[in-house]
Homo-oligomer: A and B are copies of this chain.
Amino acid sequence: MKDIVMTAETTLAKLGLTAAELSGGTLKVTSPIDGSLLAEVHETPAAEMGAILARAKAAFKAWRTVPAPRRGELIRLLGEELRAAKDDLGALVSWEAGKITSEGLGEVQEMIDICDFAVGLSRQLYGLTIASERPGHRMMETWHPAGPVGVISAFNFPVAVWSWNAALALVCGDPVIWKPSEKTPLTALACQKIFEKALARFGDAPDGLLQVLVGGADLGKALVESEDVPIISATGSTRMGRAVAPIVAQRFGKCILELGGNNAMIVGPSADLEMAVRAIVFSAVGTAGQRCTSLRRLIVHNSIKDDLVARLKRAYAGLPIGNPLTEGTLVGPLVDEAAGKAMAAALEAARAQGGTVFGGARVTQDVPEGGVYVEPAIVEMPGQTETVKTETFAPILYVLGYDDFSDALEIQNDVPQGLSSCVFTLNMREAEQFLSAAGSDCGIANVNIGPSGAEIGGAFGGEKETGGGRESGSDAWKAYMRRQTNTVNYSAELPLAQGVKFDI
């Protein structure tokens, strides 16, 4: 790996962002690493929304008739451009979102992977031909482009989530209007530059295939309310989803929601504990606990609980905390001061509810000034209290014990969220029960891997308060298209289905 520790300025320049674009604006972008000002970008005026929507509609009319494999070619070029920009974009993710280098690069790799996947899809987008009950009739089902897609993304995956949506949407024939988090507009603008390079090589795409909205909640609201945007893909908090979903539902739009998680791991008595420790640490403290799939609850068989917690404490004690761009760092900063306070409040509440807290303190030594650095916390809880049932976007791991596997399953499911889950066990009966109809109620359920770090080949998303959306692999692409059922009568007769007679 090349040395990617460089100044953010250079990185931004290499990604094609000009000084004019980075200064003079009203939206101040600071780095969670040290609070330094990265840029002052220009916000999209609310008054421009009309034109933006019109551009997307016009782009849709043209793009939907471009053959899908040709649309795939644009995404192939995008993948090539992402490969070329991987180091820079990965570094910018670190600067802007505070991720460690390896995770920043991993996020870009995920973008590249989804592009490859979408290129393959572009020659599929399979519908069905179906046996008809009537002679001289043919039935089929086809999937057509659906219209502009509004993508609302969060700070913690500032670019990958966009790419999941954009790669599929564009291959499916839909233009994209992207509203990134106010905290991470730079990576969004960088993606737009990269996309424009792909567009230039592609040649004859319509204008308006990708438009980025820089600014606050009012822009998102305009997007969500617009009748011109039949699909809204929104990633963020359950609170946000609860506001967005009814608005879109009322206008008969479709939502792809990726909201809060409260992800658990069950550790059975037969588990490979060394593997479990590594999986727990990565999934609980990776991205400083700020992944939607971060491990938040550890449900451990009582026979091994003390041993496991002891091992975890040892591992936690040695975690390198600090500048995420420094080689070796595993725990970078929280995104902002509010996150630090929320963590402290949650730990306070946990203590009040009977919890014993290990770690969790603010770190001020050997870390960049101006960032919010914390020790990841392990909290042994007497039971699954309200605080445990609440998602706090910080590296807090609640530990609960169990005796019977069925109790462990019940604890796992007894939270309002339903994103990711896993079991560590070598016992095939436990593993299979966990994956069965009576097992985990989450959208993701793993065995002997942590809850985070999904591959792009599967459908990503969760149930209950997580919102029910699915993105990325499998047939998630269908959410970006409309389905049409066709019956074609090529006979000279007119039989009715179900044997109905109606002879005039």
Contact = CB atoms under 8 A, between A and B. Distances in A.
Interface in A45-89: 61, 64-70, 72, 76
A128 B127 contact: yes
A52 to B, nearest CB: 22
A375 to B, nearest CB: 14
Contacts of A68: 131-133
A457 B130 contact: yes
Given A109-B499, A129-B142, A427-B426, A455 B134 contact: yes
Interface in A256-313: 257, 272, 275, 277-279, 281-282, 286
A250 B254 contact: no
A448 B500 CA distance: 17
Interface stretch (A9-17, A111-119, A350-358): A111-119
Interface string A461-504: 00111111010011000000011111111111010111111101
Contacts of A473: 123, 130
A116 to B, nearest CB: 5
Nearest to A272: B492
Contact of A485 (B119, B173, B315, B454): B454
Contacts of A145: 437
Contact of A447 (B122, B277, B487): B487
A453 B500 contact: yes
A497 B453 contact: yes
Interface residues of A, number: 132
A68 to B, nearest CB: 4
A402 to B, nearest CB: 19
A391 interface: no
A216 to B, nearest CB: 23
B447 A489 contact: yes
A335 to B, nearest CB: 19
Contact of A123 (B67, B133, B428): B133
Interface stretch (A239-247, A366-374, A377-385): A239-247
B116 A500 contact: no
Interface in A88-146: 102-103, 105-107, 109-110, 113, 116-145
A245 B245 CA distance: 9
A435 interface: yes
A122 B131 contact: yes
A447 B485 contact: no
B125 A489 contact: no
Interface string A433-447: 101111011111111
26 contacts: A67-B135, A69-B132, A105-B500, A109-B498, A110-B498, A123-B130, A124-B130, A126-B128, A128-B474, A129-B141, A132-B455, A132-B457, A134-B455, A140-B140, A242-B250, A245-B250, A246-B247, A248-B249, A252-B468, A318-B504, A330-B502, A425-B428, A429-B492, A435-B486, A442-B484, A448-B488
Given A120-B120, A275-B492, A435-B488, 18 more contacts: A105-B500, A123-B473, A126-B130, A131-B457, A138-B436, A141-B458, A279-B494, A281-B504, A330-B502, A426-B427, A428-B490, A429-B490, A443-B484, A444-B484, A446-B488, A447-B488, A448-B489, A448-B490
